[in-house]
Amino acid sequence: MSKRTLYIAVALLTVFALAVMVVGCGSSTTTTSAATPTSGAPTTAATTGGSTETSAATQTTAGKAVTLHVGGTFALTGAYAEDCAAVLAGFQDYIAWVNENHVLAPWATDKVIPANIKFDVLWGDDALAPDKTLTIYDDLKSKGLLVERVSGSPEGMALKDRLVQDHVGATSQSTSPAYINPAGNIFTNAPIYTDEMAAIAKWFLTTWKDSSRKPNVAFLTADSTLGRNIDIQELKDYIIKLGYNFVGEQYVPMVPTAPPTTQLAWLKDNKVDLAVGVMVNPGTQPTIKEAVRLGMGPDQAYKITFGFGNPAHLQIFVPSMGTTGNGVVVAGDFCALDAAVPGIDFANKLQATYRTSGKKPNCMYLDGIIEAMTQVEALRLASAAVDPTKLTSQDVLEKGFWQIKDLDTGGIFVSKFTYAKDKVQGIDAIRLQQVQDGKIVDVGTGPLVNIVAAKK
């Protein structure tokens, strides 16, 4: 071989060796450079292990693709069927939007979802049955669901200890006082029912004009775990201390098969001025129709005000009842569906985008959006601290739910949500609404007082 040929061969071998070294180095390390942020919007920075953390001035490169699950059990059969179908629709539409936009909400563009993280919804029909709830819970947990949700009070109580044992955080459409006594891992987005009754009682006193006597109050509530949540001595004592005479209790079937004439006549016989309770619309609507037929109501011959907890949703009640429902008060609920707030604009956009045919869901669609948003925020926060491919339910509980601060619902709820260990109520006030001239009118807010049954 000539010297010239030898030199060329050596040169080619050298170039080849250098190329191999460059390729090898490029496959084992990644260099992330910060992109220039626009309009001050926060971006996301990559951290070791493929996890992410949100900051105000750095950009991320996507890590390994990962799908995180949200959802839980939904009572799609039984008294809550229509409500829970709307909740599920809210979950599904919100998750579709998040997967396309990678932020928590239109008003929360600082809460960025890394591009490598996708979400899907896992669910099962618990049929309002605690035993079925537990079966579905185990099944979904085995499929990788790191969060949970609660349909109703019996299901919540069936799950409460298991959620603590398994270190799982759950959202809920029910707000039983038992969830905070003692606090577990069920994170609520509305006041507990006893506090809602207390807020109605305080508000009613501001309208009371008869200085010659104390007003008489009674419970008129559903004959179910939901309705009996409020029947505790601590609430009676609180109401009496406010300045009432407490008269007694009357119970109405969850879904009445006949008008509750007997219960309403009892209220008349005992000269009740304010009746409070917790019912769903299949109970409130026939109750108020019968009350009006009997001449009972704020603008009827027998003057009485009916107040209910948030499951009585005026957003469902008013379209069906119109002015027949005048004077009814509900505590702790969403804003009206025509409220000029970002959350309602967002819900309308979701329905226009993803619900393009068929009947639109009822107002519990809003609950679905907010529960899903809360679960996503918990997963987002936990993924900022732990590699999302290695997350555990305990990570999501402690580094997610417990770290949620000032979660803005776009005005759907009366206050922002803040959670922590042993703080499972997110809100800090109680919205009060009344039917006036067939419309929903905000009439004030009440404080949280945490009225719960004494530990036995």
pTM score of the predicted model: 0.82
Q: How far out from the chain centre does Cα 429 lie?
A: 15
The architecture that CATH gives domain 193-331+432-446 is: 3-Layer(aba) Sandwich (3.40)
Query: CATH topology of 66-191+337-425 equal to that of 193-331+432-446?
Result: yes
Strand partners, 66: 117
Per-residue model confidence (pLDDT) at position 351: 95
Tell me, rounded to whole angstroms, the distance of Cα 205 from its chain centroid.
Answer: 30
Choose among 176, 130, 181, 138: nearest CA to 155.
130
pLDDT at 454: 73
- What integer pLDDT is reported at residue 387 of this predicted model? 96
Q: What is the pLDDT of residue 181?
A: 87
Where are the chain's structural domains? Answer: 3-55, 66-191+337-425, 193-331+432-446
Instruction: Tell me which CATH homologous superfamily contains domain 66-191+337-425.
Output: Response regulator (3.40.50.2300)
- Tokens at 288, concatenated: 């108020």
Burial group, residue 25, by CB count within 10 angstroms (0-12, 13-18, 19+): exposed
- pLDDT averaged over consecutive 10-residue blocks of the chain (456 residues)? 44 40 34 28 29 32 86 94 95 98 97 97 96 98 97 94 98 92 94 96 97 98 95 97 98 96 98 98 97 98 98 96 98 96 97 86 95 98 97 98 98 96 94 98 94 77
Query: What pLDDT sits at residue 455?
Result: 66
CA angle 451, 454, 455 (to 5 degrees): 135
171's CB contacts (< 8 A; 6+ apart) are 72, 147, 148, 149, 150, 186, 187, 188, 189, 371, 374, 375
